[in-house]
């Protein structure tokens, strides 16, 4: 029995990746490469020490800054790097690590921002997203 032309067309269409899906994919690298990401800065509540959510009655409640990305990203692994050896696909949220205490972000919460820094893979209980961005600068996104 010969397959119908409509069925063949349907199979072909479902197996071919749509070009816009490929274009929307953004591939980045872990540190030391500097990246610039844009999105909305939000604060999320999470469970912290001592058990990070295993015992919600005694675990500390922490508030973490998160960049909700406008366009999802994927991150390529660094060969030979213990922390950054895992790829990450289609990340939509990135935890922000403000290492330099002089960088202020409180008045940017809930706003669209542009953040510059370096990416590293989560490796402690204090990291709540698969990829974390060590922030070098953060500023309000200017409308075009």
Count of domains forming the chain: 1
What is the model's pLDDT at position 127?
A: 92
Q: What is the pTM of this model?
A: 0.79
What is the model's pLDDT at position 125?
A: 85
CA distances from 60 to 14, 77, 106, 130 (A): 47, 32, 21, 21
Digit-by-digit pLDDT tens for the chain (144 residues) are: 555 554 443 344 444 444 344 445 689 999 999 999 999 999 998 887 887 778 888 888 989 999 999 999 999 999 888 889 999 999 999 999 998 888 999 999 999 999 999 999 999 888 999 999 999 999 999 876
What is the residue range of 103's domain? Answer: 25-140
In a domain, residue 83? The reply is yes
Whichever domain contains 98, its CATH number is 2.40.50
In a domain, residue 113? The reply is yes
């Amino acid at each position: 029995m010969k397959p119908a032309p409509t069925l063949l067309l349907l199979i072909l269409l479902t197996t071919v990746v749509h070009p816009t899906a490929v274009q929307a994919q953004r591939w980045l690298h872990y540190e030391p490469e500097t990246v610039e990401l844009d999105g909305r800065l939000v604060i999320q509540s999470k469970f912290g020490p001592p058990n990070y959510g295993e015992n919600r009655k005694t675990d500390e409640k922490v508030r973490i800054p998160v960049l909700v990305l406008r366009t999802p990203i994927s991150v390529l692994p660094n060969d030979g790097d213990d922390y950054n050896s895992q790829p990450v696909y289609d990340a939509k949220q990135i935890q922000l690590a403000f290492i330099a205490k002089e960088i202020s972000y409180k008045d940017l919460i809930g706003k669209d921002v542009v953040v510059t820094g370096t990416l590293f893979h989560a490796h402690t209980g204090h990291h709540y997203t698969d990829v974390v961005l060590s922030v070098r600068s953060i500023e309000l996104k200017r409308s075009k």
